[in-house]
Structure 1
Amino acid sequence: MDAADMGDDLERVLISEERLGARLDEIAAQIDADYAGKDLLLVGVLKGAVMVMADLARRLHTPVEMDWMAVSSYGSGTKSSGVVRILKDLDADLTDRHVLIVEDIIDSGLTLSWLLSNLRSRNPGSVEIATMLRKPDAAKVEVDVRYVGFEIANEFVVGYGLDYNERYRNLPFVGTLAPHVYAD
Structure 2
Amino acid sequence: MSSRQSVDAAMALREEDMERILWTDVEISARVSELAEEMSEVLRDSEAAVVFVGIATGSFMFLADVARRITIPIAVDLVRVESYGLGTESGGAPRLTTDLKIDVRGKHVVLVEDIVDTGNTLFWLIAHMKSKGASSVSVCTFLDKPSRRKVIPEPFGEGRFYRGFECPDNFVVGYGMDFAELYRNLPYIGVLKKEKYQL
TM-score, scaled to structure 1:
0.93
Deviation of 1:78 (Å):
4.4
Deviation of 1:125 (Å):
1.6
Match of 2:108 in 1: 98
Moved over 3 A (4+): 77-82
Q: Which of 140, 143, 146 is equivalent to 2:150?
A: 140
Matched residues, number: 184
Point out where structure 2 has 5 or more consecutive residues left out of the alignment. 1-8, 155-159
Q: Which of 12, 15, 28 is equivalent to 2:20?
A: 12
Q: Which of 9, 28, 33 is equivalent to 2:36?
A: 28
Point out where structure 1 has 5 or more consecutive residues left out of the alignment. none
CA contact (8 A) 1:82 1:114 kept: no
Q: Alignment partner of 2:80: what SS?
A: strand
CA distance in 2, matches of 1:178, 1:79: 15
CA distance in 2, matches of 1:83, 1:7: 33
CA distance in 1, matches of 2:83, 2:67: 27
Match of 2:6 in 1: none
CA distance in 1, matches of 2:93, 2:104: 23
Q: Do residues 52 (structure 1) and 62 (structure 2) align?
A: yes
Give RMSD over aligned pairs: 1.9
2:141 partner amino acid? T
Q: Alignment partner of 1:132: what SS?
A: strand
Match of 2:157 in 1: none
Q: Which of 179, 185, 189 is equivalent to 1:164?
A: 179
Q: Which of 61, 64, 74 is equivalent to 2:74?
A: 64
TM-score, scaled to structure 2:
0.86
Deviation of 1:121 (Å):
1.4
